[in-house]
A = this chain, B = another copy of it.
Amino acid sequence: MSLMNKAIVATLPLVPKPLVRHFANRYIAGDKLEDAVRVANALNKRGICATIDVLGEEVDDRGEALAAVEDYKSVLAAIDAEKLDSNISLKPTMFGLKIDKGFCRENIGAICAEAKRYDNFVRIDMEDSSCTQDTLDLYYSLREEYGNVGTVIQSYLRRSLADCVGLAAAKANLRLCKGIYVEPREIAFKDKAVINANFGLLLDVLLGGGCYVGIATHDEKMVWEGSRAVHKFGLKRDQYEFQMLLGVDAKLRDVIVAQGHKLRVYVPFGTAWYPYSTRRLKENPHLAGQTFRNIFAKYEFE
């Protein structure tokens, strides 16, 4: 990371929220469900699937968690009504994981039940390492009851190889990504080369074990690892998918689609856009720098 980029990340808490929002606009469908529906529809028309996410995390109020259940039920209803090719992604801490695990399981369980009614699918997102074990526990338990559930593995975690051995044996439906949260060295690899090599290894363990994997990356090298693994195991188009976030590298998105792979784009919407956006900023400080320079350049000439 360059000095300039480090400075941007370090001063992130000082960046005025309207500037963060300006930066975030490209990554978020909008404030409302109708924004997510519009974006998912547009993606579908170009042959791309979606996964809709209601922004929100680290909820410490039971009422808020229950409201989130209703929000997701509305999303599922809208996907069905609009005949979208989309599933949903959700974060356990939005449903009270940090308040009470049983309460959280009930809430996500209610969404899984609703999704099952619509023959849809629920991806349980993976958050920081304080949630890893609880999220995997949630996944195993909800999958046993509802079936239509998947979760996420992060290649930067030292534990992931061991987790994948278990998940492969269970033929889990997984998203594999590198991971974006700030973690201590004891828990996560810090060397990019190791994180990348581990991504390739985990892909082999999961795909080789018969898991359906969402290969979630914007890194050309990991997209290549995906193609390599798909070739290695002779997979058909319906045995895996690539995944990307809304607003990131549309050119790479087109390349993946043009090569005949299934691609799913993560479509977040809602008003709780701040934590999601700052993670995107940290992930891509170079782009953040450009955005800020553009904004300041604009101000200069106004």
Contact = CB atoms under 8 A, between A and B. Distances in A.
Nearest to A219: B191
Contact of A224 (B186, B194, B255): B194
List the number of copies, as a whole number.
2
Given A231-B161, A231-B165, A186 B255 contact: yes
Contacts of A185: 251, 255
A12 to B, nearest CB: 27
A186 B258 contact: yes
A199 B84 CA distance: 40
A158 B259 contact: yes
A194 B186 CA distance: 27
A197 to B, nearest CB: 6
A272 interface: no
A254 B194 contact: no
A22 interface: no
A173 B193 CA distance: 29
A101 B163 CA distance: 51
A47 B190 CA distance: 25
A212 interface: no
B220 A186 contact: no
Contacts of A224: 189, 194, 197-198
B201 A220 contact: no
A197 B220 contact: no
Contacts of A201: 228, 231
Nearest to A193: B221
Interface string A156-197: 001001000100000000000000000001100111011001
B191 A221 contact: yes
Interface in A215-259: 220-221, 224, 227-228, 231, 251, 254-255, 258-259
B165 A194 contact: no
A220 B189 contact: yes
Contacts of A189: 220, 224
8 contacts: A161-B231, A186-B258, A189-B220, A194-B220, A197-B224, A197-B228, A201-B231, A205-B231
Closest 10 CB pairs of A and B: A194-B224, A191-B220, A194-B221, A194-B220, A201-B228, A186-B255, A193-B221, A161-B231, A191-B221, A161-B227
Given A186-B251, A186-B258, 4 more contacts: A165-B231, A185-B255, A189-B224, A190-B220
